Amino acid sequence: MSTVSVITVICYLIFAPVVGLFVSGYDRVITARMQGRQGPPFLQPLYDLVKLFRKEATIVNRVQTAMVVAFLIFQVFTGCIFFAGSDILLVFFALTLADIFLILAACSTNSPYSNLGSQRELLSIMAYEPMTLLTAIGFYMVSKSFNVSDVISMDKPAILQIPGIFIGYVFILIIKCRKSPFDLSTSHHAHQEMVKGLTQDISGNVLGIMELAELYASVLNMAVVGLFFVYKNPWSYLVALLVCSVVYFIILLIDNIFPRVKWNVMLWSTWAVTFVFGGANVLLLDMLRTAVKL
């Protein structure tokens, strides 16, 4: 690992929660404005996180706590892989494993809400996982490598060759961020028929650990969006930051416009977007490459 990669990873470990809190504060303020409310202060996510770590958790069982800690570890580990410029395919696999630990934490309780939330989280993984694999394949096709470092060292941004995959990835981000209409497993709002679902029996400092993991995850998700626009030109990082801001705003807009759908609608709509945009983009790119060789 190069010196630059080590510095980048250290910056991620230190500043990702700060950036994640900034994104969460932006989320709450913009959502409140869209709903015509005053809303909480911008630093409310920080206040909430500090309060959670000060509280004693109601321990359902030790397995649940261990699984939540594993969830945090794998979220952080995945981000380190990405920002070290390593294999993006491994990044997506490790992210899925992190989600599995969270599902196991929910399954370890006897609560019907937690168990229902864990089942819906599995359905969510089934919905978005094909698109994440196509995203890794798309980056490989344009850079001839799965390494993030090779993608950002290209002469032109990946978005020029894989715009369909970009659209597909942004679509599944709605599921990954647990935003409406796909907030089936758990929700940031109190409007679900199963209350908090996946996180129903997670409380106190254990919930704080999970929220910290989610901060790392939010930064990583946006970093993958930015990867579509970053290349050799240093100004591309500024463009990527601007695109990430616009994409997150669109996700918030969708969250406040659309009502929550049933699990089967989420499944077929996500697979349809994956096939139409992601699959067609990969197929077209392969056909063009074959035609050039001929």
Instruction: Say how many domains are in the chain.
Output: 1
Give mean pLDDT, residues 241-261: 91
- Tens of pLDDT, residue by residue over 76-107, are 999 999 999 899 999 999 999 999 998 888 88
pLDDT at 253: 92
Q: Give the pLDDT band of residue 293 (cuts 50, 70, 90).
A: low
The pLDDT of residue 184 is: 78
Segment 11-19 long-range contacts (CB within 8 Å, at least 24 positions apart): 11/83, 12/79, 12/80, 12/83, 12/219, 13/76, 13/80, 16/79, 16/215, 16/216, 16/219, 16/220, 17/212, 17/215, 17/216, 19/215, 19/219
Q: What mean pLDDT, rounded, does the chain reach?
A: 88
How does residue 187 score in pLDDT terms, banded at 50, 70 and 90? low
Residue 202: pLDDT band with limits 50, 70, 90:
confident
Q: Give tens-digit pLDDT for 104-120.
A: 888 887 777 788 888 88
The residue segments making up the domain with residue 228 are 3-293
Name the nearest CA neighbour of 117 among 205, 179, 193: 193
Give residue 290's pLDDT band: very low, low, confident or very high (50, 70, 90). confident
The predicted-structure confidence for 36-56, as pLDDT tens digits, reads as follows 888 888 888 999 899 988 887
- pLDDT higher than threshold 80 for residue 193: no
